[in-house]
Structures are given as C-alpha cells and as structure tokens.
Amino acid sequence: MEKNSLTPQISVVIPLLNEAESLPELSQWIDKVCLDNNFSYEILFIDDGSTDNSWEVITELKEKNSNIRGISFRRNYGKSAALNVGFEATKGNVIITMDADLQDSPDEIPDLYMMITEEGYDLVSGWKKKRYDPLTKTIPTKFFNGATRYMSGIKLNDFNCGLKAYSKDVVKSIEVYGEMHRYIPVIAKWAGFTKIGEKVVKHQERKYGVTKFGLERFINGFLDLFSISFIGKFGKRPMHFFGTIGTLMFFIGALFALYIGIDKLFFDTNATLLANRTGFYISLTAMIIGFQLFLAGFLGEMIARNSSSRNNYLIKNKI
C-alpha cells in the first residue's frame, strides 16, 4: 500500500493512567515494528487524568517523534472515554488499540494489520491464551467471557483483551461510553459489522506500576452486558419489549380476575369475601404491573421517536 503522510496506514490508540515509566519503551517498540514493516503510522496516547508525570513524558516523546500525538483529560473519566476520544481523533485506515503497561506486544501489529486489510475482518480481538495473571483474576475472566459469548453470540475467548484491531469504518461508526470498552465487539456487531475474528497474542508480565482494575469491574461488566444487549435489540423499539411483557401480564391477571369473579357469583356457597381471597390480590397485582410495563414501553417509544438519532442508520454502500 502506498504511504500517505495525511492518512497513515495504522493508528495505534493507547489509553493510559499513571504509566509514565512504560511509555518510552512502548513508543520505541511500536516505532521499531512499524519501521521494520514499512508502515506509516501514528501513536495516540490518551492520558486519562494521570497524577504522575505521564503527560510530561508524552510531550518529550512528541518532540523526538512527530508520529506521536497526545490528548490529556483534566480528570479520570475511564477507559471507555479515552478510547472514544482516541477513535474520533484517529486518521489511519487500520486502528489498533493496546494497553500502556507493556503487557500487550507491539510485535502483533503486522499480523493484526494483515487480518484487517487482506482477510477482510472488520474487527480482530486478541486472545491471551496463556496469561500471567493470578487465579483471582483469570477465573472470573473466564466466567465473564463465557457469559458474554452466550448472550452476544460472538465466538470470542477474550472480550476484555486490550489488544484489538479495527477497520476505520468500525471506529468511526460506534460510540464507546460508560464502561462499554469491554463490549466493543458486541457494539460493533449491533452496528452491522459481523466479520469479527480472533488472534492468539502473547501476554507479558507487567513490568512497571500496578493494575488499575479491581474485582468490581466484573460486577460492573455484567451490568453493562445486560444494558448493551437490551439497547442493541430494543433501543429503537422499546414498546416491543415492555409492551409485550406488560400486555401478557395484564391479560393473565384479567383472566385470573374473571375466573375469581365467576367462581364468586356462581360457585362460592360460603359467600367468601373477595378481599379474603389470595388470588384476588395476585390478579390485581399482575394487572397493575402489566399496565405499568405497557406505560413504560409507550413512554419509551415516544422518547425514541422524538430522539434526534431516531433515523440514524449505518450505510454500508451507496452508488
């Protein structure tokens, strides 16, 4: 591919938080790999509110290498925000993300690039098949990945691997927010990018600093998975979800109330008060909840139809 100074072949997006020690080694490693393979490239360091001297290091690296760019947040917003801003700023045709802690190897860049450009993948996710993490991290990760595979239908072994490659169309078409960086393959799938692949990559032990993620990320991760699955399926048609369940519950409650009424009028020889019958309260509760769910769907539909993005659809081709 012919190089173009305005459009690099590869954009490497690196979100970071307090990783000053690893940045010089990482940037030199990426530079060497790209030069050895004759790639035009840019490196985007996204400083997510670091409290060490990470930004000073990025500034110094920029002075030595014009391919380096940097963006610094005033405070810590999280990895999803850093990736979203990085995606918006990229210029390359293939975007590769990796963590700044040197646990992701830049030697994987050429193969990832070829899988996007030559094999036609929309997204390629790294799979750290052999990990150097403790069991307290690897066991929950396997459970998390299994649940995500089941709910999303995407056959990946490692959704949370920071080393991924994307075509330009993918990163310019999706929005990453909250803690959704774990589910970028799921977001891409719902956006219509279905050719999602996986590559076994080398996992290296952390050389500097400490991990920035605790066990709470797994709890948040499952909550985010439910959110993104619902939004992907029903974001533009909430009435189909809430209205269906609400109507069904109301109908069941109404049938149960009708049965109780007929039984009271024609078969209850003891003249039992309706207020003393458990079934009366069950049917009443079902109808109330059903009506509330139907109303939630109706209100959600009104909001969706008045949203400025209600008719935003991704177009693949146009002639």
Q: What are the tens digits of pLDDT across the range 219-237?
A: 666 677 777 667 667 766 7
Taking the CB of residue 14, how many other CB atoms lie within 10 A of it? 28
Domain assignment present for residue 315? The answer is: no
pLDDT above 90 coverage of the chain, percent: 49
> What domain count does the chain have?
2
Q: Do 149 and 249 belong together in one domain?
A: no
Per residue in 149-205, pLDDT tens?
887 888 899 888 899 999 999 999 998 877 788 889 988 998 889 999 999 998 877
List the structure tokens of 97. Answer: 């993300």
List the structure tokens of 82. Answer: 């850093």
Pairing of strands 123-127, 196-200: parallel
User: Element (H or E) spanning 109, and its range?
Assistant: helix 109-117
Q: What is the pTM of this model?
A: 0.73
Q: Give residue 132's pLDDT.
A: 64
Instruction: Give the chain's residues under pLDDT 50.
Output: 1-4, 311, 313-316, 318-319
Per residue in 45-62, pLDDT tens?
999 999 999 999 999 999
DSSP secondary-structure letter at 271? -
Domain assignment present for residue 4? The answer is: no
234, 259, 282 — which closes off a domain? 234
Name the residue range of residue 209's domain: 10-234
Q: Give residue 209's pLDDT.
A: 61
Rounded-to-integer distance, Cα 89 and Cα 4, Å: 17
Answer for the pair 148, 186: CB distance below 8 angstroms, yes or no. Answer: yes
Q: Give residue 1's pLDDT.
A: 41
Phi–psi pair at 164, nearest 5 degrees? -140, 155
179, 209, 234 — which closes off a domain? 234
Q: Give residue 311's pLDDT.
A: 46
Domain assignment present for residue 310? The answer is: no
207, 234, 261 — which closes off a domain? 234
Q: Do 92 and 214 belong together in one domain?
A: yes
